[in-house]
Amino acid sequence: MSAEIYVSTDIEADGPIPGPHSMLSFASAAYTEDKQLIGTFSANLEVLEGASAHPVQEAWWKTQPEAWAACRRDLQQPAKALTDYVTWVEALPGKPVFVAMPAGFDFTFMFWYMMRFTGRCPFSWSALDIKTLAFAMTGLPYRKCIKPRLPQRWFDDHPHTHVALDDAIEQGALFCNMLAELRATQAALAAAAKDGDGSGQKAAVKPAN
């Protein structure tokens, strides 16, 4: 079985949903489980014909002039960019898993764009949500699973700039650190269970009659 490749993805958009609004930029950083960054892909996109910016996002972008400038240069037609992207994902050396935070937002745009412009999605119908993983690992209420409340040991020294590639790399490293801790916890629990009673002590042998 091929190893999974975790494709951390971030998108920037001018509205809450694709179609009426446009994805302005997207990027993916492909990681192995042991946090090796094996490739990246990024593209800035021309806006969709007939689409317009949502007033809320339009106002927010005015507060982010550097990120706005970064996502509006070297624009590509969506059909070309998404075709190249799907080809890139399909060439990765393993089974690709879409990873994002929150996946509900980023995957909505990426899935819509891939199906609209290429007719296929190499991730199938699913995405791995970092926020949900944090909910399971921390015991925090789901809506409180935001980055400032997560353990600092999970974060590497990567910037979060609202430039898609920067954020994809940052969140991919975050995911890999969380996954490593999850795997270590699972291994410790398995070792304890193997000892016999889950406490780490060997179970007493029942004397024969």
Mean model confidence pLDDT for the chain: 93
Would you say residue 202 lies in a domain? no
Q: What backbone phi and psi angles, to 5 degrees, belong to 6?
A: -95, 115
Reported as a single tens digit per residue, the pLDDT across 50-106 is 999 999 999 999 999 999 999 999 999 999 999 999 999 999 999 999 999 999 999
Residue predicted with more confidence, 197 or 112:
112
Compute CA 17 distance to the chain's CA centroid, rounded to the nearest angstrom. 18
Which residue from 144, 106, 82 is spatially nearest to 13, judged by alpha carbons? 106
* pLDDT above 50 for 196: yes
Q: Find the mean pLDDT for residues 165-171.
A: 97
Would you say residue 208 lies in a domain? no
Would you say residue 200 lies in a domain? no
Q: Find the mean pLDDT for residues 143-154.
A: 96
Number of domains, the chain:
1
SS (H, E, C) 46-87: CCCCCCCCCHHHHHHHCCCHHHHHHHCCCEECHHHHHHHHHH
Predicted local distance difference test score (pLDDT) of residue 201: 52
DSSP 165: H
Reported as a single tens digit per residue, the pLDDT across 5-48 is 999 999 999 999 999 999 999 999 999 999 999 999 999 999 99
The structure's pTM equals 0.90
Would you say residue 19 lies in a domain? yes
Assigned token pair, 99: 């990873």
Q: Find the mean pLDDT for residues 125-154.
A: 96
The rounded percent of the chain whose pLDDT value lies above 90 is 90
Would you say residue 181 lies in a domain? yes
Containing structural domain, residue 103: 4-195
**CATH number of residue 53's parent domain:** 3.30.420.10
The Cα–Cα gap between 185 and 44 comes to 40
Would you say residue 201 lies in a domain? no
